[in-house]
Amino acid sequence: MKNVAVFGATGSIGTSALDVIARHPDRFRASVLSAHRNVEALAELCARHQPDLAIIADAALENALASALKSRGLRTQAAAGESALEQAAAGTQCDVVLAAIVGAAGLRSTLAAAHAGKRLLLANKEAAVMAGPLLRAALGQGGGELVPVDSEHNALFQCLPDSHDELHRRGGVRKLWLTASGGPFRGRTRAQLHDITPDQACAHPNWRMGRKISVDSATLMNKGLEVIEAQVLFGVDADAIEVVVHPQSMVHSLVEYVDGSFLAQLGQPDMRTAIAHALAWPERIEAGVARLDPRKLASLDFEAPDEETFRCLALAREAMHAGGDAPALLNAANEIAVAAFLAGTLPFLAIPDVIEAVLNELPPSPVVNVETLLERDLTARSVSRRIIGQQC
Ligand SMILES: NC(=O)c1ccc[n+]([C@@H]2O[C@H](COP(=O)([O-])OP(=O)(O)OC[C@H]3O[C@@H](n4cnc5c(N)ncnc54)[C@H](OP(=O)(O)O)[C@@H]3O)[C@@H](O)[C@H]2O)c1
C-alpha cells in the first residue's frame, strides 16, 4: 500500500489523480490532500478520501479548514501554509508526492519531496522550468525517482529505455519530439487574435484543464515551458528537442533514434493515463480511461508550429538558450501576464510583449539556491506588473 500526497487536490490534475487512486484501494491511499483557498472543495474531498492530513496553503484559512473538517465528523488533521506542504512532502505520511500545484507556488514542496527521496510524480512543470539545476541536484541527493505526469514527458519517459541517461551518453537518441495540439487558435493570424477573451482562450479543443495552463496552451507558452521541462528531465541538448503540432492530441510525443526509428506513445487526451502510469510504474494499472480504437482514428495530422504568431514558444527557447535563471524569469513574467489577461487587464497579444520586455530588462544570473531564485522570481513579477501598468 502506497500513501500518496496529492498537492493541488482540488485542481484538474488533482481530481483526476484522486479518481485513479480510488480505483485501486488495495494499492494506493490518498493520505495528504492540499488546496490553496478552496476550503469547501478540500473538505469535500477529505470526506470522500479520508486522508490523514489536509493542508490549506493560505495560512489565514487554517481555522476555516479545521471547522469544515470537524463539521463533517472527519478525523483528518488540518494544517496550513507553505511550510506545512514542505513538511508533509518530506514527512512519513506519504511515500509518493503528486506535485500538481499550479505555478511557482509548487516549487518548495516539489523540491522537498525530491530531497526526501520520495517518488515524485511531476505535473507542476513550472517548478522544473524555474529550478532545473536545483531539482536535479535534489533528486540526486534524495535518491528518489521522478516520473513525469505532463502527458508529453510521460510519453517520452515511456518511449525512452529505462537507462535513458546512458543511452544519451552513447548517442542513441537523436531527437525528442514534443507534440502540441496548437490550442484553440491554431491556424489564426495575429489580426484574428486581437479581441480574444479569457473564456475563448480557456476553451481548449481536446483537454479539460485549469485556466492558467489553458491560456498557456492558447499562447503556445505551454509548449515552450515543456521544451525547457524536457531538457531538465531528460538531460538532452536544447537543440535535440523539437515541437510538432498534432491537432488530434492522440500521439502524446515521440522519440527519434539514430537508426531512423521513431517510438511514439498514443492514447486518449485524458490525464488519467499518465497519472496511472506514473503511480504504478513499472507496472500498469487500469486508469478509467475510454479505450482508443485505432480503427476509428480517421487521421493523424502533423505540422510545424507557427512561432511568428505564437511568439511565446520562441521566447521560451531563447530563455532556455540564455541559461541561468532566465527560464525562471520567463515563468514569473508569464504567470503575471496570464493572471492579468484572465483578470481582463491585458490583451491576449500583449502576453509575449510583457515577457519579452522582462527578459530584456533582467539579464540572467546563475541559479545558486532556492532563496536567491525566489528573490529573482519576485523581481521579475514586480517588473512585469510595472510593464503591464505602463501598457494599460
Ligand atoms: N490540467 C492538465 O491537464 C495538466 C496537464 C499537464 C500538466 N499540468 C500542470 O499541472 C499543474 C496543475 O494544473 P491544473 O490544470 O490541475 O491546475 P488547476 O486546475 O488550476 O489546479 C491548481 C491546484 O493548485 C492549487 N493552488 C493554486 N494556487 C496555489 C498556491 N498559491 N499555493 C498552493 N496551492 C495552489 C489549487 O487550489 P485551489 O483549488 O484552492 O485554488 C488547485 O488545487 C500545473 O503546473 C499544470 O501546468 C496540468
Ligand 1 midpoint to CA 262 (Å)? 32
| Average pLDDT score over the chain | 96
Q: Which three cell numbers stand for residue 233?
A: 528531465
Task: Please tell me the predicted confidence (pLDDT) of residue 19.
Answer: 98
Ligand 1 within 6 A of CB of 215 = no
- Give me the DSSP letters along 172-220: -EEEEEEEE---TTTT--GGGGTT--HHHHH--SS----HHHHHHHHHT
Is any ligand 1 atom within 6 A of the Cβ of residue 11? yes
| Euclidean distance between CA atoms 127 and 145, whole angstroms | 16
Atom of ligand 1 nearest to the CA of 127: 45
With a 6 A CB cut-off, is 125 part of the ligand 1 pocket?
A: yes
Pocket flag, ligand 1, residue 148 (CB < 6 Å): no
- 5-22 pLDDT, tens per residue? 999 999 999 999 999 999
Query: Is the C-beta atom of 338 inside 6 A of ligand 1?
Result: no
Query: What digits encode the pLDDT tens for the residues 141-150?
Result: 999 999 999 9
pLDDT given for residue 312 in this prediction: 98
User: Could you read off the pLDDT of 58-80 as tens digits, one per residue?
Assistant: 999 999 999 999 999 999 999 99
Inter-residue contact 83 to 106 (CB < 8 Å):
no
State whether the beta carbon of 14 lies less than 6 angstroms from ligand 1. yes
**b/e burial code for range 59-71 (CB count within 10 A of at least 16 → b):** eebbebbbebbee
* 57 Cβ below 6 A of ligand 1: yes
Read off the pLDDT of each residue in 311-324 and give the average, rounded to a whole number.
Answer: 98
Distance, in Å, from the CA atom of 244 to the CA atom of 178, rounded to the nearest integer, reads: 6
Give the start-end residues of each E strand in the chain: 2-7, 28-35, 53-56, 77-80, 96-99, 119-122, 146-148, 173-180, 241-245, 251-257, 262-266
Cα 101 to ligand 1 centre (Å): 4
The reported pLDDT for the residue numbered 106 is 98
Q: Which residues on neighbouring strands pair with residue 78, listed in sequence order?
A: 54
**Pairing of the two strands 251-257 and 173-180:** antiparallel
Average pLDDT over residues 153-157: 97
Instruction: Let me know if 93 is exposed, middle or buried by CB neighbors in 10 A (0-12, 13-18, 19+).
Output: middle
Q: Kindly tell me if the per-residue pLDDT of 346 is higher than 60.
A: yes
Q: From ligand 1's centre to the CA of 9, what distance in Å?
A: 8
pLDDT digits (tens, 9 = 90+) for 354-390: 999 999 999 999 999 999 999 999 999 999 999 999 8
Q: What are phi and psi of 229, to 5 degrees?
A: -60, -40
* 224-273 pLDDT tens trace: 999 999 999 999 999 999 999 999 999 999 999 999 999 999 999 999 99
Q: pLDDT value at position 391?
A: 72
Cα 75 to Cα 6, 52, 67, 91: the distances in Å are 18, 7, 12, 19
What radius of gyration, in Å, describes the C-alpha atoms of the chain? 20
Which CATH number among 1.10.260.40, 3.50.50.60, 1.10.1740.10, 3.40.50.1100 corresponds to the domain 314-391? 1.10.1740.10
| 189-219 tens-digit pLDDT | 999 999 999 999 999 888 889 999 999 999 9
Tell me the pTM.
0.97
Q: Which three cell numbers stand for residue 305?
A: 508550429
Which long-range contacts (C-beta less than 8 Å, at least 24 apart) are formed by 259-263?
262/177, 263/159
Q: With a cut of 60, say whether residue 284 has pLDDT above it.
A: yes
pLDDT of amino acid 259: 95
pLDDT band at 392 (very low <50, low <70, confident <90, very high): low
Residue 202: CB within 6 Å of ligand 1? no
Residue ID of nearest Cα to ligand 1 atom 15: 210
96 lines ligand 1 (CB under 6 A): no
Average pLDDT estimate for 151-178: 84
Which pLDDT band, with edges at 50, 70 and 90, does 162 fall under? confident
With beta carbons less than 8 A apart as the criterion, state whether 148 and 174 touch: no
Break the chain into its structural domains and give their ranges: 2-148, 155-296, 314-391
**Three-class SS of 52-92:** CEEEECCHHHHHHHHHHHHHCCCCCEEEECHHHHHHHHHCC
Cβ distance 106 to 126 under 8 Å? yes
Residue 8 alpha carbon to ligand 1 centre in Å: 5
Does residue 35 have its Cβ closer than 6 Å to ligand 1?
yes
Atom 17, ligand 1: residue with shortest CA distance: 210
Whether ligand 1 lies within 6 angstroms of the CB of 80 is answered as no
Q: How far is the CA of 57 from the centre of ligand 1 (A)?
A: 12
Read off the pLDDT of each residue in 92-112 and give the average, rounded to a whole number: 98
Q: What is the pLDDT of residue 205?
A: 86
What residue's CA is closest to ligand 1, atom 21? 11
Calculate mean pLDDT across residues 263-291: 97
Closest residue CA from atom 2 of ligand 1:
209
CATH of domain 2-148: 3.40.50.720
